[in-house]
Structures are given as structure tokens and as C-alpha cells.
């Protein structure tokens, strides 16, 4: 899946929020998560447990990793439940 597109189009905060995604704010990257489409593959947690930790609230902390690495992990999400917008994209 592509973490910065939705239906082949670049994501915007408005489309993600309207689509049921929740925003997790970071300094360099914002991460968006949609629990309704998550298949719990665990790629995110295995990819960077400092950023993605299911036992913590909030469970996504974008600033616990470098933006390019966070984006790389999000690209491994097979369901598209995770998306991102970097501050350069805004």
C-alpha cells in the first residue's frame, strides 16, 4: 500500500478525516490511522515499536522516530489503515 495516497490520489487531511482516519500529530510527520480497515498484520509494531505500540495511549507517537523511517514503516501496511502527511506535503 502507499502511505501517502488514497484511491491513487495524494492524501489530504480533510479526505483522511472524512474517511474515518484519526490523526496523530508529529513535528515532521502526521500519521493517520483507520481502525475500521486495519487487519492487524503487525507490520507497524514490528517496523518501529517506539512509534507504534499497541499497549500505550496514544499508541502512535510520530515524534519517536525519524519521519522518513516512519513513512517507510507505513508503506508496509497491507490494508491501508495507516497513512501519513509530511510537513513538506502540507
Q: What's the pTM value of the predicted model, to 2 decimals? A: 0.91
Q: What is the β-pairing status of strands 22-24 and 9-10?
A: unpaired
pLDDT on residue 2: 61
Q: State yes or no: pLDDT of 11 exceeds 90.
A: no
- Domains belonging to the chain, first-starting first, are 5-86 (3.30.70.20)
* One-character DSSP codes across 29-78: EEEEE-TTT-----HHHHH-TTTB-TTSSSSB-GGGS-HHHHHHHHHT-S
What are the pLDDT digits (tens) for 40-88? 999 999 999 999 999 999 999 999 999 999 999 999 999 999 999 998 7
Q: Mean pLDDT, to the nearest integer, of 30-40?
A: 97
Amino acid at each position: 500500500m502507499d502511505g501517502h495516497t488514497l484511491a491513487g490520489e495524494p492524501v489530504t487531511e480533510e479526505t483522511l478525516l472524512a474517511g474515518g482516519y484519526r490523526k496523530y500529530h508529529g513535528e515532521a510527520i502526521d500519521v493517520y490511522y483507520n481502525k475500521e480497515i486495519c487487519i492487524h498484520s503487525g507490520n507497524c509494531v514490528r517496523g518501529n515499536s517506539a512509534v507504534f505500540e499497541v499497549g500505550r495511549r496514544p499508541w502512535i507517537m510520530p515524534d519517536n522516530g525519524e519521519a522518513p523511517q516512519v513513512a517507510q514503516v507505513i508503506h508496509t501496511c497491507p490494508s491501508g489503515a495507516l497513512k501519513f502527511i509530511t510537513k513538506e506535503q502540507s
